[in-house]
Amino acid sequence: MRKKIIGIFVCMMFIITAASAMGINITNDINDSFSKTSNYIPDTYLLTTTWGQWQYYNTKCPIDPDTGNPHRLGCKSVAIGQIMRYHELESHGLVEYYYFNKEGDPIPLVNNLDDFDYDWNHMANWLNGSHTPEEEDHVSQILFDSASIIQKNFGFVR
């Protein structure tokens, strides 16, 4: 149980550090969101989301030229996205970086985090094919945002 709480704390610190490094403003909202964890009941889960890396979740990711499908998100992107959802953390700023394809060529990625307003009510706990287009849109957007914030290299599959 302590490992779960410590893991969440470490991820939140990672988000705060990454956001600060990118010049993203961290407001008092983040402090208010920590009050959710003060009501924790032992042997239960704080997160209700069970999001994945592939189908439905990765629709905002760059397209893999080999498959014609969006690249996968990666574990870190999904974990951070679920924590952002739990605490209802908004993303702000402009993310610009290069990821590298299999040949080592740089591919530019630009994501303006201010272009999309999250609607927490349209973020389903999981996407299974019977979800609404709005749910897929909002879930895949927050996951793509978290992937771009940590500068995920979409060109390599590990």
Regarding predicted confidence, which is higher, 42 or 133?
A: 133
What residue ranges define each of the domains in the chain, with the CATH number in brackets?
A: 2-149 (3.30.910.30)
Q: What is the mean pLDDT of residues 126-137?
A: 96
What pLDDT shows up at residue 63? 95
- Residue 144: name the closest of 19, 58, 17 by CA: 58
| pTM greater than 0.95 | no
